[in-house]
Structure 1
Amino acid sequence: MAEANPMLSLDALTFESGHAALDQGIAAIAAGETVFDLGGVGAADSSAVAVLLAWQRRARAAKQRLTFINVPENVQKLAALYGVDQLLTQP
């Protein structure tokens, strides 16, 4: 199993933290990181789904495959509700 991304340290993926999280993830992708461990995320709302999808788009544009591990359950449920859970599939 690949090691989780040490550049990505998030405790929240919410409306308030979304822009900073987006930037942090984009920088990690640009540095070649492909595994994002979201185990430290304690607070998340629907903005989390938007951020994860934006990261996926950025990774695909860079011809990389991005993997999310330890996605919070509420984010998984929101992604399923929105019909995008397949885009955020974990390994």
Structure 2
Amino acid sequence: MLKLPARLRMDNVPQVWAQLEGALRAELAQVGNAAGRSVSLDASGLNDFDSAALSLLLSALRMCGQNGWQLELLQPPKQLRELARVYGLESLFWADAAVTAQSSAAAALPV
């Protein structure tokens, strides 16, 4: 499992992405022989971030998708999920967000 650093801001995201991209490529190659087609990214230590963090996560999601893999973002801080929700990206990272959005939309329909 890969782990995000504690800080993801505009000034350090390019350096973090350079490291994460290499680690993702290695993980995809290593896990490629395993049964699962999913890569886990632990976000539990992330505590200082801005919207550039979403850019990095979208890049990771895109890389995994291009290779036929899914990216699992584990233990995200509440504020990161909220930021993703504000930008309309929450359902890209967390399947339960898509279910919640569908349930809310269905509940809002007149009967």
Q: TM-score, normalised by structure 1?
A: 0.83
Structure 1 runs, 4 residues or longer, greater than 4 Å off = none
After superposing the two structures, state which structure 1 stretch, 8-17 or 54-63, moved more. Answer: 8-17
> Cα gap change, 1:48/1:74 in structure 2, threshold over 3 Å: closer, same or farther?
same
**Map of 1:62 onto structure 2:** 67
Q: Which residue identity is paired with 2:63?
A: R
Q: How many percent identity over aligned positions?
A: 22
What runs of 5+ residues in structure 2 fail to find an aligned partner? 29-38, 97-111
Report the aligned-residue RMSD.
Answer: 1.7
Distance 2:76 2:48 in 1: 11
Structure with the higher helix share, 1 or 2: 2
Distance 1:90 1:37 in 2: 16
Tell me the number of residue pairs that the alignment of Structure 1 and Structure 2 aligns: 86
Give the drift of 1:65.
1.0
What runs of 5+ residues in structure 1 fail to find an aligned partner? none
